[in-house]
Amino acid sequence: MRYSLWLPLILLPSLSFSQKIKPEYSQRLPNEIHESSGLALMRPIQVFSYEGKVIDSLGLCTVNDGGDKERVFYITKKYGEPYPQFWVMNAANHDWEDLALDDSSNLYIGDFGNGLNRRRNLGIYKVYVSPARLNFPFPSPAFVDSASLISIHYPDQKQFPPPPSNWNFDCEAFFHHRDSLYIFSKNLSSPNDGYTKMYRLPDQPGNYTAELVDSFYLNEPVTSADISPDGKTIVLLTYFSLWVFKDFPDHNFFDGKIFQFPFNGLTQKEAICFANDHELFMTDERHFGKGGKLYKIDLNQLDFSRSTSKYKKQHFKRAIYNAFNNPKAKYKRIMKREAAQ
DSSP notation for 31-66: TT-SSEEEEEE----EEEETTS-EEEEEEEEEEE-T
User: Which are the contacts of 12, defined by CB distance < 8 A and separation ≥ 6?
Assistant: 316, 317, 320
- Distances in Å between the Cα of 2 and the Cα atoms of 33, 97, 103, 172, 270 are 14, 10, 30, 11, 9
Taking the C-alpha atoms of residue 23 and residue 139, their distance in angstroms, rounded to an integer, is: 31
Look at residues 223, 182, 198 and name the one whose alpha carbon lies nearest to residue 325.
223
Whole-number pLDDT of residue 7: 39
Q: Peptide bond preceding 262: is omega within 30 degrees of 0, i.e. cis?
A: no
Q: What is the SS3 assignment for 133?
A: helix
Domain span at residue 222 reads 7-340
CB-CB contact of 37 with 65 (8 Å): yes
Residue 2 lies in a domain: no
Residue 1 lies in a domain: no
Whole-number pLDDT of residue 170: 97
- Distances in Å between the Cα of 235 and the Cα atoms of 115, 136, 200, 269 are 22, 34, 16, 13
CA 157 remoteness from chain centre:
22
Low-confidence ranges of the chain (pLDDT < 70): 1-18, 47-52, 79-82, 131-141, 288-289, 309-310, 316
CATH number, residue 44:
2.120.10
Q: What is the value of pTM for the model shown?
A: 0.90
Taking the C-alpha atoms of residue 268 and residue 176, their distance in angstroms, rounded to an integer, is: 24
Number of domains in the chain: 1
pLDDT tens-digit map of 190-226 = 998 999 999 999 999 999 999 999 999 998 999 999 9
